[in-house]
A and B are shown apart, each in its own frame.
Chain A
Amino acid sequence: MFQEESSSVTSPLQVFSMMSPSPNLGSPYPWLRELKSEERGLYLIHLLLTCANHVATGSLENANIALEQISQLASPDGDTMQRMAAYFTEALADRILKAWPGLHKALNSTRITLVSEEVLVRKLFFEMLPFLKVAFVLTNQAIVEAMECEKMVHIIDLNAAEPAQWIALIQALSARPEGPPHLRITGIHQQKEVLDQMAYRLTEEAEKLDIPFQFNSIVSKLENLDIEKLRVKTGEALAISSVLQLHSLLASDDELLRKKSPLASKNLNGIHLQRALQMNQSTLGELLEKDMVNGYSPSPDSASSSPLSSTASVKVDSFLNALWGLSPKLMVITEQDSNHNGSTLMDRLLESLYSYAALFDCLESTVSRASLERLKVEKMFFGEEIKNIIACEGAERKERHEKLEKWIQRLDLASFGNVPLSYYGMLQARRLLQGYNCDGYKMKEENGYVVICWQDRPLFSVSAWRCMK
């Protein structure tokens, strides 16, 4: 029955899946060792999906068995698929454990998070992968161009963690022909130490280049940010830089959301909702024709499930409105360009499998497997994101990445107009990517937005906006 091609691939799968629920087989399954990496990878995918399904449907026994199987194969220092499987199963296990809140809390109660480790991991992510650097280059170039004749420049950084971005900007501004402007940077972060360090580095750099400079620290969570504290003065040109920050504002209490779904029309964004409803009600045939995988999960299981229409957007919309109220001359937004905000676990799992596969592949092609740094980035940076996407729900789930189109709509609604990113900035960014000596990284430009991809998978997007009155 089996055709040649398939037999080599499918037969082990069949055997395995048949044997999977059988408790009679002792562990470890000896034949697992003999799997070649490709087969093992495919099997891991299958197991992950199986397990996720079990988790989603609540059949924990089967989920447990699947997890057991995966743990035989997955490993944080194996090949890409093995590593991914390790973190995804950890996330799934965490999700299961949340069903017993007491147990979950007890297991996590003694966890220590060192600020220094977090700082290190962020730095590693910045160094090893080009995404942040490209974002910074594009942001800085957009700022320099927008501030061309300005004498007083004020920059607000929604997540002031990486001084390198602003050091580069300071240098670029000091080299401009009409001389540097009076520069103020306001940094927002949750940890004071990080802000202090940043203040020190930036002030030192500005002094070296003899630029009038001032750094203001604001220790705050983004969602609790008090706009008044930003102290934007009249007469200064304002630029806002948001790197991977806005999506956390989409987090909200989904339960409340679902209950309120018929009332959703009362929310501020009536247009949003109507649009979403139209989406849902449009003929499925229409959906068939267009490729609408852009995040509107066309699952009609609940009328307001499409996240865009929900009140989840209230927080981010009010934040955007507040920013609009400051009349920034420029706002540059860098975000993940993947849909990890689906309403169901399976949606999110499937999407994130692809995205993180791409990210893990990036690391695989540029860093050695033995590298401890790579391990740290995978575990503490990506692993945490995966855990948040898979295991958390509601307000806890902060990593609500969405596709660029959705962000564009949101920003349009908040009366921001698009500023195409400059050619020169993209040139610099491309050169930077080439410096990584890896053909996998690609940069696409469409309508003035830039999307950074790995092979064909879009991963991050950068877009620039201005205030439209």
Chain B
Amino acid sequence: MSGDAFSMPASIEGFVQDQNNANPNPKANPNPVKRKRNLPGTPDPDAEVIALSPKTLMATNRFICEICNKGFQRDQNLQLHRRGHNLPWKLKQRTNKEIRKKVYICPEKTCVHHDPSRALGDLTGIKKHYSRKHGEKNWKCEKCSKKYAVQSDWKAHFKTCGTREYKCDCGTLFSRKDSFITHRAFCDALAEESARFTSVAATNLNFRNDNVNLTHGFAGRGVQDVTGIPQFGSGFAQDFSGMSTAGLPEMVQMASGNIFGSTSLTNYGSQGHFPGFDKSGATSTNSNLSLSPLPQGLKEEGGSKGNLMESLSSLYPDTQNKQSKPAAPMSATALLQKAAQMGSTRSNPSLFGSSFGVMSSSSSSHTASLSSTQNRNDQLHQVYPNVKQQENFMSSSSVSMSADAGLGSSNLNSLTSAISNNLDQLMFQTGAKQSDPSQLKMHPSSNSIDQSLTRDFLGMGNDQTSRPFSPQELAKFSLIGSTMGLSQFTNNH
């Protein structure tokens, strides 16, 4: 059989379909003339375009011995093999004609290289391209289970798999430094992480002072370790507000809440000035935290800081507890309420609940101006009979300590009048006290016990209605008291 069937003259123009087209010009040609390499994808304009079928491209052994069906990749190999069968063989010489450059196009229609203007200049190249792009990947790396269609690719990868890698925080591995750097610059995970912190911040951490108690546990102790810590990776001005407010978002990112900002506050507060801080200063004062200088350590820093915070909170649980309790048993609010209670000693103050507030506040404003406007008082007394009853009830009678906070500020005033009345009661000399005879009228029936008490003591009935708070009289009484019978009172308590 002639080998002609298998070799076609390379000079046929146009597309040759479904035919083997062995390249009679092997690369083994020693080249005094160096082959000019075109730019990839930009073939020589007068090169010959050859289109091979996928089967042809993928075929490994295209030259088959008809006798023994052995396959050869090259025609020359086949010819030599045929010699062994004593078959006629012919080695084709390279034609001396001008060598026509050949370029190959990919048979896959959707491929870029299907276009002759983007043909590839190399048969091996087009074969590999076809396998890589449009073939199935049958070679798998053991280490990382990455798949390859071309064996040489697979081999090359296997050699370097796991040897040198860059890892982004988002978990992506890179073998190349440049791609790693580029990726990291735009990595979504980084953005997501900072966003996570800031969104959490916006909800919780941003304004949350996690360890207010901690802070104040530090106050006055000078926890130097912690206080020196400024914000990592954030520039801050010497200005104090810059210092600590910088804390909020950046520190939030570090998941360390306000502890550092506050403690640095503590430091400044005690020093009374704003020491300049810079990063180096911070790191030097900071012995506890391991500061990784790289910004990529953000995550780690956050973690370590978070740990520090937790450890600190565990360190100072006692101080927190101690400080959260007010040392004095009574808060100012409670004291005020109690004082107000003393003014409303009626057993059922609820009767006058809210209204009392109004009335007394009106009376309070009166007490202030009363030294000048007694008449006013009379009017009010007539209008607000009940009020006066309230103020009659001295603290000496059953002090109803039930929280009656609704009475509010009014009661304080009743307290002042109550106290003044109290004094009046104590004074046996009560003659001077009749300032408002009109008040004698005001005796609603409900005074029962208290009235009797006061009556007994004063011997003059319950006419000590809320007399205007007149300082002069108070002074007078006090003087009287001091001159006459201090002893009797001191005995009583």
- Our verdict on whether A and B bind, yes or no, reads yes
Residues of A within 8 A of B (CB): 1-3, 5-15, 17-22, 24, 37-38, 41-42, 45-46, 49-50, 53-54, 56-57, 59, 62, 79-81, 84, 116, 119-120, 122-124, 127-128, 130, 132-134, 136-137, 140, 162-164, 167-168, 171-172, 174-175, 193-194, 197, 200-201, 204-205, 284, 287-293, 297-301, 344-347, 350-351, 353-354, 357-358, 360-361, 364-374, 376, 428, 431-432, 435-438, 454-457
Given A37-B328, A344-B368, also A435-B208 (CB < 8 A)? yes
For the complex, what is the distance from the CA of A5 to the CA of B402, rounded to whole Å? Answer: 13
Q: Which of B195, B357, B408 contacts A354 (CB 8 A)?
A: B408
List 8 tightest A-B contacts by C-beta distance, closest first. A133-B207, A11-B493, A350-B409, A357-B332, A171-B198, A79-B328, A288-B355, A291-B354
A17 and B419 form a contact (CB under 8 A): yes
**Contacts beyond the supplied A22-B482, A116-B274, A373-B269: 7 A-B pairs with Cβ under 8 Å:** A14-B426, A80-B331, A127-B258, A171-B206, A299-B366, A350-B410, A437-B320
Task: Please tell me if the beta carbons of A6 and B399 are within 8 angstroms of each other in the complex.
Answer: yes
Q: Which of B341-376 contact A (CB under 8 A)?
A: 342, 354-355, 357-359, 361-362, 364-369, 371, 373, 376
- How many angstroms between the C-alpha atoms of A9 and B343 in the bound complex? 12
Contact of A136 among B207, B331, B354 (CB under 8 A): B207
Interface residue B50 (Cβ < 8 Å from any Cβ of A): no
Number of interface residues of B (CB under 8 A): 112
Residues of chain B in range 442-487 having any CB-CB distance to chain A below 8 Å? 453, 457, 469, 471-472, 474-475, 477-479, 481-482, 486
Is B173 at the interface (CB under 8 A from chain A)?
Answer: no
Q: Which B residues are CB-close (under 8 A) to A367?
A: 212, 216, 219, 323
User: If A200-B237, A350-B364 touch, does A124 touch B249 (CB 8 Å cutoff)?
Assistant: no
Q: Can you give 5 contacting A-B residue pairs, CB < 8 Å?
A: A133-B209, A284-B383, A350-B413, A364-B326, A367-B323
A344 contact set on B, CB distance < 8 A: 365, 368-369
Q: How far is the CB of A218 from chain B (nearest CB, A)?
A: 18
Pick from A84, A122, A136, A376: contact of B269, CB below 8 A. A376
Q: Contact at A428–B481, with CB atoms within 8 Å?
A: no
Chain B residues whose C-beta falls within 8 Å of the C-beta of A163 in the assembled complex: 241, 245
Query: Across the interface, do B208 and A432 meet the contact criterion of CB distance under 8 Å?
Result: yes
Residue of B241, B330, B362 near A41 (CB, 8 A) is B330
Q: For B439, what are the chain A residues with a Cβ–Cβ distance below 8 Å?
A: none
Secondary structure class of chain B's binding surface, majority of residues: helix
Decide: A53 and B204 in contact? CB cutoff 8 A.
no
Bound complex: CA A22 to CA B479 (Å): 7
B246 within 8 A of A: yes
B204 touching A437 by the CB < 8 A rule? Answer: no
On whether the beta carbons of B242 and A372 are closer than 8 Å, the reply is no
Q: Which residues of B sit under 8 angstroms from A24, Cβ to Cβ?
A: 482
- Closest Cβ–Cβ distance, residue B389 to chain A (whole Å): 14
Nearest residue (CB) in B for A81 is: B332
Taking CB atoms, residues of chain B closer than 8 Å to A350 are: 361, 364, 409-410, 412-413
Instruction: State A462–B336 Cα separation when bound (angstroms).
Output: 27
Among A38, A46, A288, A298, residue most surrounded by chain B Cβ atoms (within 10 Å): A288
Q: Contacts A38-B330, A357-B336 known; A164 to B371 CB distance under 8 Å?
A: no
Q: Which residues of A contact B248 (CB under 8 A)?
A: 164, 167-168
Residues of B within 8 A of A (CB): 195, 198-199, 201-204, 206-210, 212-213, 215-217, 219-220, 235, 237, 239-242, 244-246, 248-249, 258, 261-262, 265-266, 268-270, 273-274, 320, 323-333, 335-336, 338-339, 342, 354-355, 357-359, 361-362, 364-369, 371, 373, 376, 383-384, 395-399, 401, 405-406, 408-410, 412-413, 415-416, 419, 422-423, 425-426, 453, 457, 469, 471-472, 474-475, 477-479, 481-482, 486, 489-490, 492-493
CA distance in complex: A193, B240 (Å)? 12
| Chain A residues, Cβ within 8 Å of B412 | 45, 49, 350, 353
* Chain A residues near B212 (CB-CB < 8 A): 127-128, 366-367, 436-437
Contact B478 A436 (CB under 8 A): no
A366–B423 touching, CB < 8 Å: no
- Would A357 and B361 be within 8 Å (CB), given that A7-B492, A116-B274, A201-B246 are in contact? no
B396 touches A3 (CB 8 A): yes
A127-B249 in contact given A347-B365, A373-B266 (Cβ < 8 Å): no
Task: Identify the closest chain B residue to A161 (Cβ).
Answer: B241
Q: Are the C-beta atoms of A346 and B235 separated by less than 8 Å?
A: no
Q: What chain B residues lie within 8 Å of A128 (beta carbons)?
A: 209, 212
Q: Of all chain B residues, which has the CB nearest A121?
A: B269
In the bound complex, residues from chain B placing their C-beta under 8 Å from that of A297 are 361, 365
